[in-house]
């Protein structure tokens, strides 16, 4: 598929609004705000895999296991209401902000991302709202005040909030990853980068926005400085929240290396396996963040699994693009995992 939309290097603040100042010359990193408190589910181990790791300060995130790590997950019996509500808020509608970080790594050159990879990530952000996977989220609600996910967005026509291209060098490695030796950033460093970019762009947080930090090829991450729960060995991505008066919902999106973050039989409708794998992983994180942004809303009490975990690496019928795609949004083809329908007790690619 040819992608017609081109994105200029610089800061894209919203559709049609582009600031062209260099990301490499921007302000220094700001410290990340304090992290959320630990949750009861943070200690849940699923087949030996902790889906919701927590650090010493009580900050927790929820991971998307790699294909190999997901094999440790026991099958969850499909029953009505297997995802239960735990009292926290959902995201009634969504704006997706993309940050592509492609600066110099600690060792080994730059963490590059091809333009096609970035463009496809931006298209996904524009296309997500009001389409089949998003529509499946409308069955999930919060209690106070009573509100459901709408599946729509306050920005007419798309769910894209903006894009920022950062060429700043990565900070000194805060962890050690076996797959990307020497090139490893922690969750605290990821939070600091997101907060810094928000300060530069003027973006603000809130429960209807998610900030996806995409890092370039060769740059890995671990959740803590103790190198627990790392990219490519434990996860392909994760989502969490930076606490404060206005929470910041974010996702860590390491380079989607197909060796770790695609499964046998998965197709690549955009003829770009890493880029196609990246939007599948992003779909998993965005959907889970919508239904569980603060890790206090919808999840399975038995093992901590969220809406995406129950259907991870399952794609259903490919009815588009000559059998290469299972979603066709705004004339764009995608191969995106199924999501859990709590009313029908099944993994679906089209919502109710």
pLDDT tens per residue, range 278-317: 999 999 999 999 999 999 999 998 888 999 999 999 999 9
| Length of the chain in terms of residues written | 352
Q: What is the dihedral of CA 145, 146, 149, 155, to 10 degrees?
A: -50
Higher pLDDT among residues 95 and 157, named by residue: 95
Spatial distance between the Cα atoms of 314 and 303, rounded to a whole number of angstroms: 19
Phi-psi region of 226 (alpha: psi -120 to 50; beta: other; left: phi over 0): alpha
Q: Per-residue pLDDT averaged across 174-185, rounded?
A: 96
To the nearest whole percent, how much of the chain has pLDDT over 70? 86
> What pLDDT is stored for residue 151 in this prediction?
83
The per-type count for the chain, helices as H runs and strands as E runs, is 6, 20
> What pLDDT is stored for residue 318 in this prediction?
97
Q: Among 150-154, 199-203, 251-255, 336-340, which is the least confidently predicted range?
A: 150-154
Average pLDDT, the chain: 87
Handedness of CA 16, 17, 20, 26 (dihedral sign): negative
User: Which candidate, 222, 213, 233, 216, places its Cα nearest to that of 282?
Assistant: 213
To the nearest whole percent, how much of the chain has pLDDT over 90? 76
Three-point CA angle 308, 180, 230, nearest 5°:
35
Spatial distance between the Cα atoms of 31 and 100, rounded to a whole number of angstroms: 19
DSSP 8-state class, residue 322: G
> What pLDDT is stored for residue 49 in this prediction?
81
Spatial distance between the Cα atoms of 41 and 54, rounded to a whole number of angstroms: 9
> What pLDDT is stored for residue 77 in this prediction?
62
Q: Per-residue pLDDT averaged across 101-117, rounded?
A: 97
Q: Per-residue pLDDT averaged across 95-109, rounded?
A: 97
pLDDT reading at 26 higher than 90? no
pLDDT reading at 233 higher than 50? yes
> What pLDDT is stored for residue 326 in this prediction?
97
> What pLDDT is stored for residue 253 in this prediction?
98
* Helix pair angle (273-291, 115-127), 10° resolution: 30
Spatial distance between the Cα atoms of 15 and 154, rounded to a whole number of angstroms: 13
Higher pLDDT among residues 15 and 150, named by residue: 150
pLDDT reading at 136 higher than 60? yes
pLDDT reading at 130 higher than 70? yes
> What pLDDT is stored for residue 78 in this prediction?
65
Spatial distance between the Cα atoms of 104 and 124, rounded to a whole number of angstroms: 26
CB proximity list for 172: less than 8 A, separation 6 or greater: 106
Ranked by mean pLDDT, the top range of 51-60, 128-137, 153-162, 276-285 is: 276-285
Higher pLDDT among residues 161 and 78, named by residue: 161
Distance of CA 199 to the CA centre of its chain: 21
User: Which candidate, 190, 178, 151, 203, places its Cα nearest to that of 66?
Assistant: 178
pLDDT reading at 200 higher than 80? yes
Spatial distance between the Cα atoms of 49 and 68, rounded to a whole number of angstroms: 11
Beta strand 235-242 with 49-50 is unpaired
CA atoms within 13 A on the CB side of 163: 25
pTM of the model: 0.89
Rg (CA), the chain: 18
CB proximity list for 120: less than 8 A, separation 6 or greater: 3, 270, 272, 275, 276, 278, 279
Q: Per-residue pLDDT averaged across 333-337, rounded?
A: 98
> What pLDDT is stored for residue 4 in this prediction?
41
pLDDT reading at 246 higher than 70? yes
Beta strand 235-242 with 62-65 is antiparallel
pLDDT reading at 7 higher than 60? no
Name the pLDDT band for 79 (thresholds 50, 70, 90): confident
Q: Per-residue pLDDT averaged across 96-104, rounded?
A: 98
pLDDT reading at 172 higher than 70? yes
């Amino acid at each position: 598929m040819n992608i017609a939309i081109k994105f200029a290097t610089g800061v894209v603040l919203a559709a049609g609004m582009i600031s062209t100042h260099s990301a490499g010359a921007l302000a220094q990193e700001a410290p990340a705000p304090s992290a959320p408190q630990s949750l009861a589910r943070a200690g849940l181990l699923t087949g030996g895999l902790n889906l919701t790791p927590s650090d010493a300060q009580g900050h927790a995130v929820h991971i998307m296991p790699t294909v190999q790590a997901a094999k440790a997950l026991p099958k969850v019996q499909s029953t009505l209401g297997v995802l239960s509500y735990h009292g926290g808020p959902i995201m009634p509608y969504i704006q997706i902000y993309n940050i592509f970080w492609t600066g110099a790594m600690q060792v080994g050159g730059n963490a590059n991302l091809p333009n096609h990879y970035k463009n496809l990530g931006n298209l996904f952000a524009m296309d997500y709202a009001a389409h089949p996977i998003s529509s499946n989220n409308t069955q999930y609600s919060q209690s106070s005040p009573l509100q459901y996910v709408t599946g729509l967005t306050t920005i007419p026509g798309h769910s894209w909030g903006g894009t920022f291209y950062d060429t700043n060098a990565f900070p000194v490695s805060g962890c050690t990853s076996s797959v990307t030796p020497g090139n490893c950033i922690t969750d605290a460093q990821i939070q600091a980068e997101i907060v810094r970019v928000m300060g530069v762009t003027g973006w603000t947080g809130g429960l209807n926005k998610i900030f996806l930090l995409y890092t370039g090829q060769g740059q890995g991450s671990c959740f803590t400085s103790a190198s627990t729960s790392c990219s490519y060995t434990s996860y392909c991505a994760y989502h969490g929240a930076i606490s404060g008066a206005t929470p910041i919902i974010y996702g860590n999106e390491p380079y989607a290396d197909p060796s770790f973050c695609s499964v046998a039989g998965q197709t690549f409708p955009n003829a770009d396996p890493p880029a196609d794998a990246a939007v599948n992983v992003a779909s998993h994180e965005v959907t889970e963040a919508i239904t569980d942004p603060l890790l206090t809303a919808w999840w399975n009490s038995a093992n901590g699994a969220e809406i995406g975990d129950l259907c991870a690496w399952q794609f259903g019928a490919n009815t588009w693009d000559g059998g290469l795609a299972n979603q066709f949004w705004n004339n764009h083809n995608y191969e995106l995992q199924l999501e859990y329908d709590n009313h029908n007790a099944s993994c679906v690619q089209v919502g109710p």
